Amino acid sequence: MSRLLEVEDVSFAYGSQSVLHSVSFCAGEGEFLALLGTNGSGKSTLLDIVSGFRKAEAGAVVISGRSQHDWKRRELARQVSHLPQSIHANLPFTAEQLVGMGRYPHTDSWFESEEDHRYIRAAMERTSCWPYRHRSFHSLSGGERQRVLVAACLAQNASVLLLDEPSTFLDIEQQLHCFSVLREEARSGKLCVAATHDLNLALTYCTRLLILANGVIAYDIRTADAQDNQNWLGLFSKRLEIGTTQAGSAWVWYQ
Amino acid sequence: MSTTQQLSFTARYSLVFSAAIYLAAALLLPWVGAGAISVSRVLRHQEPDYEILLQLRLSRTLLALIAGGALSLAGTLFQAMLRDALATPYTLGISTGASLGAVTVIALGWETFFGIPMTWIGALIGAFVVLVIVIGGAFRQRQISAFGLLLTGMAINSICAAFILILSGFAGLARSFSIARWLIGSIDATSYFSLAVLAIVVSLVGAMILSQARNWNLLAVGERWAASRGVRVGTMLAQGYVLGSILMAGAIALTGPIGFVELIVPHVVRSRISSDHRILLPCAFLLGGALLALCDTIGRIVIPPAELPAGAVLALIGGPYLVWIIRQRTPAEEI
């Protein structure tokens, strides 16, 4: 398994408010990481730093063996795609135009090629949003918009996918579908990192749990070992218990 | 028809349509005015028809076509960067800054210096001073906040407007009248040298803006979105604000502060043709120029021999249209 992402002693503060303090971890192809933590624990900030949107105050990020600073911006965009937590809903673009933007880092031609359109269509079909490709983004429901945005990340065909709460607004069937698509991406040799608050989706689909608390990675555990040490659950709520489903996988119960 | 073919067909059709309107405006509108011009007399270079067409109406029409296109292009750019269909360089105070610069020059009586129109220099300096102040005020955490830009812009707008009133009050009757006339915004006959300079500046800046059309698409979605698709957001925004301000100041210096063209045209193109900046930007330029030239023509034929300034005609059309846009916005869009 080759390493796709190395985060080394990354620190970040908003003014005097420290958010991340010497965060380190690395991950490779085939992994699907769940980035967990309570509100304000720094999940989105960490994804912003890995994507290159924010600069860490200290530490380094290495993508595919090369320091993030050494990648040209467009080259980096071919390596890393990022689904931000919130996108302005009042966008004048159609669903297909938005997904097509995922192909911009791959081409210099003025308009997308037939090959680009094959990627766009495949991504939209995988997230079940191809049927409304001609509709304006602002006319879509929250869940439909989210499927378009996930498709845009897939169409970018990057080796590292950073997704900030990808299942937001999705109905239960679509949440399961979204995470299974991301698991397929990881299994095809990519690295997926999804910030989420849904512990059961994380336990069911992800290979590893990274839990942020007080600006550091408090726990870095394989999903298969999640039941062995249950202290991590206490970071979220005292009303949680972890058990096993009939299929043998871990499951968090709410009291 | 495949999606690629469909896209290029739409792009080609829209561009040809917009270019045809622009060309038609350039060829037909100079012939329209309070007094009729004889084609045969013009072809024989006979006065006064030849002189009126060449020195008055043609230069006015060309100025409207170039300045209207520049204003519309600047509006489209600012709307993409600020992600707001109602945002314009006026919103950020850049246009009022350019006006303050030009008004200062008029108030001091320095309208030309060795043949160079000093209102140009004044407008450029005014626009850039305001740009630096507004961006400085909105700069937080090594990033430019769109909300901060709008708030700082509103404050600067009011300050510049106050200085314009003060200068106008102390300028004396004749200069005060010149300032008031300039502030209405109008298309007057201008020298072909000035037109050539404006055309070169607008062509170069317009080409630079158009060459980054895909990046404006990305920025219109969001800064994180753009950053993770290969855009250097800070550099791109700085470039956009500088280029937009050059277009705005260059046009305003020759026409005065004409509003609404940068609001109406991008909105119509976005809703009727395409939101994709690869199509939107050239169409907005072409149709913006044609609209301003048309308003100027309406202004000179509606109450002959008097003329209505193009800015006033455009405001009479644009004002109600702006109210209509606001009524069309949903509560979610107003957040």
Q: Rounded to an integer, what distance in angstroms lies between the CA atom of residue A249 and that of residue A206?
A: 12
**What pLDDT, in 10s, does the model give residues B55-93?**
788 989 999 999 999 999 999 999 998 887 777 878 888
Proportion of chain B above pLDDT 70, given as a percent: 91
Average pLDDT over residues B117-133: 86
Mutate to test the interface with A, among B82, B143, B228, B330 (most CBs of A within 10 A): B228
pLDDT at B1 over 60: no
Query: What's the Cα-to-Cα distance from B191 to each of A23, B61, B246, rounded to whole Å?
Result: 64, 12, 20
Domain that holds residue B15: 3-334
- Tell me the backbone φ, ψ of residue A108, rounded to 5 degrees: -105, -10
Residues of chain A found within 8 Å of residue B228, distances taken between Cβ atoms = 51-53, 77, 80-82, 84, 162
Q: What is the pLDDT of residues A47-91, one digit of tens each?
A: 999 999 899 999 999 999 999 999 999 999 999 999 998 888 788
* DSSP track, A51-103: HTSS--SEEEEEETTEEGGGS-HHHHHHHEEEE-S---S---SBHHHHHHGGG
Highest mean pLDDT, choosing among A205-214, B94-103, B294-303:
A205-214
Taking the C-alpha atoms of residue B286 and residue B34, their distance in angstroms, rounded to an integer, is 26
What pLDDT is attached to residue A69?
Answer: 92
What residue ranges do the domains of chain A occupy? 3-254
Residue B7: pLDDT band (50, 70, 90) is low
The count of structural domains within chain B is 1
pLDDT score of A35? 96
Task: Tell me what pLDDT residue B317 has.
Answer: 83
Q: How far is B133 from chain A (nearest CA, A)?
A: 22
Q: CB under 8 Å, gap of 24 or more: what pairs does B144-148 form?
A: B144/B234, B144/B237, B146/B81, B146/B82, B146/B83, B146/B84
User: Would the CB atoms of A73 and B332 count as touching at under 8 Å?
Assistant: no
- What is the number of other CB atoms lying within 10 angstroms of the CB of residue A219? 17
CB A32 within 8 A of CB A186: yes
Confidence of residue B291 (pLDDT cuts 50, 70, 90): very high
What topology does CATH give the domain A3-254? Rossmann fold (3.40.50)
Which CATH number is B168's domain given? 1.10.3470.10
Give me the DSSP letters along B99-133.
Answer: HHHHHHHHHHT--EETTEEHHHHHHHHHHHHHHHH
**Which residue has tokens 């990881």?**
A186
Cβ distance B228 to A53 less than 8 Å, yes or no, reads yes
Q: Which of B4, B142, B271 sits opposite A113 (nearest CB)?
A: B4
pTM (2 d.p.): 0.88
Closest CA of chain B from A71, distance in Å: 11
Which chain A residue's Cα is nearest to B210?
Answer: A110
Greatest alpha-carbon span in chain B: 67
Picking from A18, A79, A109, A110 by the largest number of B CB atoms within 10 A of its own CB, the best residue to mutate is: A110
Q: Which residues in chain A touch residue B214, judged by CB atoms under 8 angstroms apart?
A: 101, 104
CB contact under 8 A, B2 and A81: no
Q: Which long-range contacts (CB under 8 A, 24 or more apart) does B145-150 make?
A: B146/B81, B146/B82, B146/B83, B146/B84, B149/B82, B149/B92, B150/B82, B150/B84, B150/B87, B150/B91, B150/B92
Rounded to two decimals, the ipTM of the complex is 0.90
Residue A161: closest C-alpha in chain B: B228
- Report how many Cβ contacts below 8 Å link chain A to chain B: 97
